[in-house]
Amino acid sequence: MEEYKQVVIVRSDLRMSRGKLAVQVAHACVSCVLEIVEKGGVWREWLNEWVRSGQKKVVVKVDSEKELEERYKRALVLGIPASYIVDAGRTELEPGTPTCVGLGPAPSNIIDRVTGDLKLL
């Protein structure tokens, strides 16, 4: 049986508070699911399998905006549902600050091609 997961890549260089970090991760997770619901196709099948299998989620880190953007672009090339989260700037960060990228849910072996080498947050 194939494993499915959702991964959120977070910028560790921003040093967000725990609450801010939690909200940004939540934005990424919800945005990915909403995109899947809108676009459907094989992504919808992946979403259904992920829900059936327990909704595994993993949070990993990168050290810069550049690396965050590179990982996002790699996910798009591989056909993974992806959301690029940019902060509105109402609390801790400047408006327009990219904070994280949500990926999936998708088969783990595909997501690992983007995030498999990253450390857990």
Give per-residue pLDDT as tens, 73-117: 999 999 999 999 999 999 999 999 999 999 999 999 999 999 999
Task: Write the pLDDT tens digit of every residue in 12-46.
Answer: 999 999 999 999 999 999 999 999 999 999 999 99
- How far apart (Å, rounded) are the C-alpha atoms in residues 17 and 4? 29
Torsion angle in degrees (nearest 10) through CA of 9, 12, 15, 17? 30
What whole-number distance in Å separates Cα of residue 75 and Cα of residue 81? 8
The residue whose two tokens read 């072996």 is: 109
- Other C-beta atoms lying within 10 Å of the C-beta of residue 35: 14
Please give the Cα distance from 42 to 52 (Å, whole number): 15
Interior/surface letters 39-62, b for 16+ CB within 10 angstroms, e for the rest: eeeebeebbebbeeeeeebbbbbb
Could you give the domains of the chain? 4-115 (3.40.1490.10)
pTM: 0.97
- The 8-class DSSP code of residue 61 comes to E
